[in-house]
Amino acid sequence: MLFIVFLISLTRLFFIQCFRNKYLIQLARKQQNLFINLEPRRGTIFDRNLRPLAINLQSESLYAVPYEIKDKQGTIKLLLSILEVEQSYLEKRINSNRGFIWIKRKLSPEVVDEIKKLKIAGLYFIKESKRTYPNLHIASHLIGFAGLDNRGLEGIELFYDQYLAGANGWGIGLRDARQERLGLWEKLVLPSNGYNIILTIDEVIQFIVENELDRIMKKFRPAGGSIIVMDPLTGEILALANRPTFDLNRTPQTDDNIRRNRAITDLIEPGSVFKVITASAALEEAGANEQDRFFCENGAYRVANHTLHDHRPHGWLTFREVIEQSSNIGVTKIAQGIGGDLLYKYIKKFGFGNKLNIDLPGEIEGMIKPPRHWSAVSIGAIPIGQEVGVTVLQLASAISTIANQGKLMKPYVVREIQDEQSLAIKRFYPQLLSWVISPHTASRLAEILAGVVEHGTGRHAQVKGIRAAGKTGTAQKLEPNGRYSHNKFIASFIGFAPVDNPKIAVVVVIDEPRPVYFGGVVSAPAFKNICENVLRYLETQTSPSMQLVTKDAVGVSD
């Protein structure tokens, strides 16, 4: 009998060694080893003065080893009372036959403590980094946000994700017979952390702009609004804000309509601010000068089968007065004098109808029809900002061109990309896109726009102790039937200051303010408030000189 037992045992051992060895090796590895993805630290996003706008904080994530969980139904019930997940989701994961499966990642400290108190075998935590935005909604549309896997989904987070994300690592950790981690690694590949991004945005200027938008939202109850502050000499965006806005730390609670960056994604008819383009073309091509006089038909002028009206009747006005008083009829006669082909040429030269290629996702090119597609009334509509579609960013670049002696600069929001040792990986410099008008024409137009602020429709934009230049706009919105609305307007103001040495260009566009809707009443005071606060702040700052590169250069230094 002993011999028979010994023979059976020997046979069984032979079977195990020869036919079951691979299975048992895999089972041992499954019990003793644990494969873990090692997440890199996502790069930090800073403003131009190295104030953090997006950072990573350590958090804990919950995972399960399902075959170690004895009471699976009981575990599911206990977790349901703590985690905000569906029961079917938990059942699918807890009943999985995998050796490692995520339950929920990047939990709050309170939730982690509750689960740890349960002391359930088979549930474990691993430390990860969680993307956090310390300023909540400030610059939300520009910064964007990253998902649970630390991958960018919107804004800077998306556009520069290849630099911010880094590369994952992995490791095979060892465990003892009780399935406790030993702190030893059989194999280990360390993650590569992401690079840091330094923006052109100034956090202080961004706060000023956000506060002004909040004031407008409270006072005029508009459907939305956008403000951009730009350095006209370099194309650097100093601030960009939209309303409605959202908390970057709570993105799942907001919808796509709120999260879109309407300053670069929304098409608007600009209205009277577009008259600046018509005036630029006429002055540059000597189609008119400041003292030329135009009869404004006492408020009604027939263009083809359409009657054009001014907000209030005017008789004879000089070229300068036509812009200062924002006469639709006067501007139309200026456009008729230079012709549609020449006007279209300058609209395109100012960057309308094309993407400016800002380093943000979602930019649209706008809409401008070539003259061959114009109707008989287009010469009375396009010069005053109708039948064209533009973005707020394009308006900011256009007014900056006038402030910058006729040079159109590429707008950009990132100054530098740095590694963990603060060494520059890439630097971005001002880039000249084109020379739109001569410095002489730009100077003449700046004086005319200063007159708009000093004794024209933009008097509410006057900045105490500083000469400012700008243009008001009040545009009717299109109804779904294609007709212009009589109760929905876009109020806007574009301008720069100081006139003689421009430091900032500002665009304020407010969608459907009420009950007042004029750009000179709604948007011009916002321009004034922003200029006063920003210029006072800039007096305390010093900025290093930036190298200028031409359109043919890449604008990037390795």
Are the C-beta atoms of 525 and 533 separated by less than 8 Å? no
d(CA 471, CA 495): 6
Are the C-beta atoms of 461 and 493 separated by less than 8 Å? yes
In this structure, the dihedral spanned by the alpha carbons of residues 321, 322, 326 and 327, taken in order and rounded to 10 degrees, is 130
Locate tokens 């209030």: which residue?
312
Beta bridge partners of 549: 431
**Catalytic residues, which ones?**
272
User: How remote is the C-alpha of 123 from its chain's centroid?
Assistant: 40
Enumerate residues 6+ apart whose C-beta is below 8 A from 110: none
| Three-state SS annotation for 35-97 | EEEECCCCCCEECCCCCEEEEEEEEEEEEECHHHCCCHHHHHHHHHCCCCCCHHHHHHHHCCC
Q: Please choose, from the candidates 216, 223, 211, 207, the residue with its C-alpha nearest in 3D space to the C-alpha of residue 258.
A: 223
Tokens of 311: 């907000």
Locate tokens 């800077």: which residue?
156
Regarding beta strands 300-303 and 306-309, do their DSSP bridges make them parallel or antiparallel, or are they unpaired? antiparallel
Are the C-beta atoms of 156 and 42 separated by less than 8 Å? no
d(CA 31, CA 431): 59
**Residue 529, H or E segment:** helix 524-538
Q: Which one-letter DSSP state was computed for residue 193?
A: P
d(CA 129, CA 42): 8
Are the C-beta atoms of 411 and 240 separated by less than 8 Å? no
d(CA 502, CA 482): 40
d(CA 192, CA 255): 33
Q: How many helices (H) and strands (E) does the chain have?
A: 19, 22
Enumerate residues 6+ apart whose C-beta is below 8 A from 104: 61, 62, 83, 85
